[in-house]
Amino acid sequence: MHVRMDDESGRWHVAYFSDAHNHRVLKLQFSSMLPGHQRMSESDIEQMNDMHKGSIGVSRIHGFMASLAGGCHNVPYTTRDMHNVNAKQRREGVLDAESCLRYLREYKANDPALYYKEIVDREGVLQYLFWCDGTS
């Protein structure tokens, strides 16, 4: 395609256009990696969140998803997409309670004086959280 500006009107116009491809078309197996095709399904997001609860990192989660799908080329998102979903969830407050509990578990591992008690309902939703670090 060639685009030129008309000197008199100051407007752009297409001077030449060819609809023939000048490159090889991407194989279908790789089309899921194009930016417009990269999406995490709700079930993949749920699986990722569950694995995060077990302190599994994004790269390992992506590798697990790829092994289930038969290879990375069959997973329609990258680790960057997964990080973006996590960031969006944090901004929306989805992971606040989960992040807090993870922090308390890690803190307790380093400080046995910390005490915390969590109460969740049948659906796993945090209802009550009490913590004390043992200082006066």
- Summarised one tens digit per residue, pLDDT across range 26-52 is 776 666 667 776 788 889 999 999 898
Helix H or strand E encompassing 127: strand 126-132
Q: Which pLDDT belongs to residue 112?
A: 85
- The pTM is what? 0.50
63, 64, 69, 70: CA torsion to nearest 10: 60
Q: Which pLDDT belongs to residue 11?
A: 92
Cβ-based neighbour number of residue 69 at 10 Å: 14
Q: Which pLDDT belongs to residue 98?
A: 75
Q: Which residue has the higher pLDDT, 32 or 129?
A: 129
* The pairing of beta strand 2-5 with beta strand 12-16: antiparallel
Tell whether the model's pLDDT for residue 135 goes beyond 70: no
Q: Which residue has the higher pLDDT, 91 or 115?
A: 115
